[in-house]
Structure 1
Amino acid sequence: MDYRTRIISTFTKSRLRAIDSFAHKAAEIQHRQLMRILSRAANTVVGDRYRFGNIDSLEAFARRVPIHDYESLQEEIELMLRGSKDVLCSGRCLWFAKSSGTTNSKSKFIPVPANHLHDCHYQGSRDTLWLYLRNRPDSRFFATKALVLGGSHSSVAMGGKDIKAGDLSAILVENMPWLGNSVRVPSKQTLLMSEWTEKMQAVIREVAHARVGSLSGVPSWVLVMIKELLAAQNCKTLSDLWPELEVFFHGGISFSPYKAQYEKLIPSSRMQYMETYNASEGFFAIQDDPQDSGLLLMLDYGVYYEFVPMDTFGSAHAEAVPLEGVDLGCNYAMLISTLGGLYRYVLGDTVRFTSLRPYKIVITGRTKHYINAFGEELMVDNADKALASACKRCGAQIVDYTAAPHFFPEEGKGRHDWLIEFAVEPTDPMEFARVLDAELQQLNSDYEAKRYADMTLLPLSLTVARRGLFHDWLAEQGKLGGQHKIPRLSNTPEIITSILEMNSRPYTQSQ
């Protein structure tokens, strides 16, 4: 560990002790967070509506406040965008994380007030680094530069020049504390460029000769940057260009489909990968142990958690349980209440607990991103793992994918249609489809049951996408770069049909 990194690390001990207390003080910490949230919002429009000031228990909070989705808060958020204060959170909110969502092209604007930005998002970033340094005593993090890749922001027309919206990553860059700014590359001006292709070239020019030691971003977009950088510098691996590179902090999508490509492009024994769970709505979890895929749920960021079992989610009798009511192995939809003005809000992600002391989760998918057209309950987590196994067995590497159901009404059956863009194509796409189908059956008993003797589900169909297809589709949707991503699974065929219309090299293999 270099001198500067060692000095900074000495100031992290008390915070690391607080994180360690999550294992035995979870209920106490979460109760304190809820009371803090309600107190801060007691004099807001929503606080007055639900009488936050006299809620004194978790049970009273659950009885009095209904579960919300974005649409149920849209009227209040539009008031905030126009400059109204004390609506969902105290005071005026000047920053909004803009998210188009993945199943709806209409933009969502998630409030990011200053206290939530600093107590949740930036605290999560700091804790990620402190946990990494604890696990990595040979780190030279502060002796090198940290490459960050993100989106842009702009003023909101309805809110005046002081109210801005953009990708969460852009908001974080714009307001980044001095310690982060001291090591970050590229420049703020470059990072906040709005045109993605032009920005990518500017990033490459700035970072090519920097002493980069860490990467942060969404795996798919960082991979695009790496490949363009290596081509521009005529290098085969990133280790040749940046020999001091030691860690990639990643999130936003599953890393497993990309792992093999990263290991090939960064063949360094020093390289580590650390997953974070940071969404527009808040920073929620961190991979605190490199040998454990479970993410430590962060309990003291001004976020109160509840969980709805997915087997009842969306039904009239669905009930949310607090953290101490969850079970291992159950798939849950996550609800959050935050200092950012969201209360019992359906985040849209599904999680499964892998540990209860401390609480650790894995992200299994989205409440709207699954295929259950035939009772197969296929989640993104299943799809990612099956693809990773199929790629390993068939010597393939993927760029991106999407899948959806295909119905044969006259037969009373159906199948799953998969559209995959490969970085390294399998020698035999039909064999890859067979392996993928078998892996899905191995991972998902419901899928296996529906596939039995082709009684309900026929063998999946694989279409090999032309190179750059998903990039072109995102560009057409105005979603290039930043935190935008391809919807992995859909329960209806509209998205895959839209992408297939652009596929100028159709090559379909089905069993």
Structure 2
Amino acid sequence: MPRVERVRREPLAAQAAVLRYLLGRARGTEWGRRYGYAPGLGAATFAVRVPISTYEQLYPELEKVLRGQPGVLWPGPAPRWQARSSGTTNARSKYLPLTPEALHHNHYRAGRDMLALALHHYPALGIMQGKTLSLGGTHGPSPFAGRARAGDVSALIMQGLPGWAEILRTPPLELALLDEWEDKIERIARHVLRQDVRVLAGVPTWMVVLLRRVLALGGATQLEEVWPRLGLFLHGAVAFGPYQELFGELAPSLRYLEIYNASEGYFALQDEPGSADLLLLLDHGIYYEFLPLDQLESAIPQAVPLEAVQLGASYALVVSTNAGLWRYLVGDTVRFTSVRPYRVRITGRTKHFLNAFGEEVVVENAEAAVAFAARATGVQVRDFTAAPVYFAAGVAASRGGHEWAVEFNGPPPPSPAAFAQALDAELRRLNSDYDAKRHRDLALAPPRLHLLPPGTFEAWLRQRGRLGGQRKVPRLGNSRQVLEEVLALGKVASE
């Protein structure tokens, strides 16, 4: 694992080399000429010249690329692959170009590193002698350009895998890339039932659905009865805490490694088993900057380079990539747990938090508290979302609060009040701002809890064309839109 060792040992040199490479390659593009990319342009000058951009701010340039115009953000022809993200704050999809450099020097390179780490940590599994069951999305014609294809990044990666990697993977592409999710799960389950599956790879939410169908078809109660050599789950996209107990029941001897892979790039991976920390990949074609959260609403936000980050602080992730994204605000927030080497934990989304009353509850807090409440009450959570309850106008005693909608795997908690109390207590322990607002119920009332019928969140995703792949329900939001939609579906489902 020489590359992983180099990232650990020489992180700043790796990042400096990546920035030189990016600026050199993009000198002749429309963007590079606009912002004066030139030899010798340093990180400090780059940060002054080039603005930090959200997707909406960069979209006029992205649209040119998506419609086939060459040399706009990255040299050469417009890429034929476009990564589609469901977007996580509204129903509109985001589309991002996926260049050959990003595919091969970022996603595939990181995938090889992950495989090397798995072989190093778990040699007895014989990973190369069996199959990796990978569950991804689908792709289809782009809405922008005639010959381009757009889809989940997992599907685009799967479509172009090198031959040696395709040999290791199951199911075959004709099943893996099906776009009708219910049929896809059934056909994949039947195909993989008799295969020698040793590794699982995918999003926990949808992997559970597939694995339960495999168990049903195999007449088994645990996955080891179906796949005796199964030993590892490579997971990402959502926090694993709420799923840990469930997977422990499905496969008690399963080991886990987490990846941090998104439409914008493959950012980090879990290089040490047993740790929740993710090693930043610093020589995979992405240059990183980190925006303090108090800068998010600034007119001219000031990000810091890697060498200036502080342990324990949360930052919004800003990337410049070999897919032509320049100082792009990904939308994720991370917290540094180590700087020797640089490791992070994902704490949430810049737009996915509860802060209607100064409580600053991020997704990391919410997921940990929900997992705690589930353990405390002996249940398994399938999914959840939460939003504020705002002060009522004209009501003197009105207080704000949070309203939670939760769907369970199996029976709901015998005492919903006990679940809500455990959730509240753990949030207070994890988040001092929330605790201060909850003091004596003065500013925030205790959380309200709604138990949703099975299938509610799946119905919400299906209604918006997001079912399958890496699509997921927003966990938190200061708008009540998602919560109200989910509650309405739950009401219909229970009638």
Separation in 1 of the partners of 2:329 and 2:374? 34
Match of 1:149 among 126, 131, 135: 135
Is 1:191 paired with 2:181?
no
The SS at the match of 1:503 is: helix
Whether the 8 Å contact between 1:286 and 1:298 is mirrored in structure 2 is: yes
Alignment of 1:224-239 (within 5 A): 224-239=209-224
Whether the 8 Å contact between 1:466 and 1:505 is mirrored in structure 2 is: no
Gaps of 5+ in 1: 1-15
Show the counterpart of 2:368: 385
Deviations 1:413-471 (A, max 9, x none): 21100000011421111111011100100100000000001111000001000011000
Show the counterpart of 1:345: 328
Alignment of 1:248-259 (within 5 A): 248-259=233-244
Q: Deviation above 6 Å: which 4+ runs of structure 1?
A: none
Report the residue type matching 1:143 in the other structure.
Answer: Q
Show the counterpart of 1:69: 54
TM-score (norm 2): 0.97
TM-score (norm 1): 0.94
Show the counterpart of 1:212: 197
Show the counterpart of 1:325: 308
Separation in 1 of the partners of 2:369 and 2:477? 17
Shift of 1:212: 0.4
Whether the 8 Å contact between 2:52 and 2:301 is mirrored in structure 1 is: no
Report the residue type matching 1:153 in the other structure.
Answer: H
Show the counterpart of 1:433: 420
* % identical equivalent positions: 43
RMSD: 1.3
Show the counterpart of 1:279: 262
Is 1:35 paired with 2:20?
yes
Whether the 8 Å contact between 1:153 and 1:164 is mirrored in structure 2 is: yes
Match of 1:97 among 77, 83, 104: 83
The SS at the match of 1:502 is: helix
Separation in 1 of the partners of 2:158 and 2:305? 33
Separation in 2 of the partners of 1:81 and 1:322? 30
Shift of 1:53: 2.0
Gaps of 5+ in 2: none
Separation in 2 of the partners of 1:104 and 1:45? 30
> Using a 3 Å threshold, how does the CA distance of structure 1 residues 369 and 48 change in structure 2: closer, same or farther?
same
Deviates more, 1:279-288 or 1:225-234: 225-234
> Using a 3 Å threshold, how does the CA distance of structure 1 residues 345 and 473 change in structure 2: closer, same or farther?
same
Show the counterpart of 2:344: 361
> Using a 3 Å threshold, how does the CA distance of structure 1 residues 506 and 222 change in structure 2: closer, same or farther?
closer
The SS at the match of 1:385 is: helix
Show the counterpart of 2:449: 462
Shift of 1:291: 2.0
Match of 1:416 among 376, 384, 402: 402
The SS at the match of 2:228 is: coil
Match of 1:264 among 239, 243, 249: 249
The SS at the match of 2:445 is: coil
Shift of 1:281: 0.4
Match of 2:45 among 36, 42, 60: 60
Match of 1:472 among 459, 466, 476: 459
Deviations 1:220-278 (A, max 9, x none): 0001111122122221111111111010000000000000000001122xx21000000
The SS at the match of 2:320 is: strand
Show the counterpart of 1:335: 318
Show the counterpart of 2:474: 487
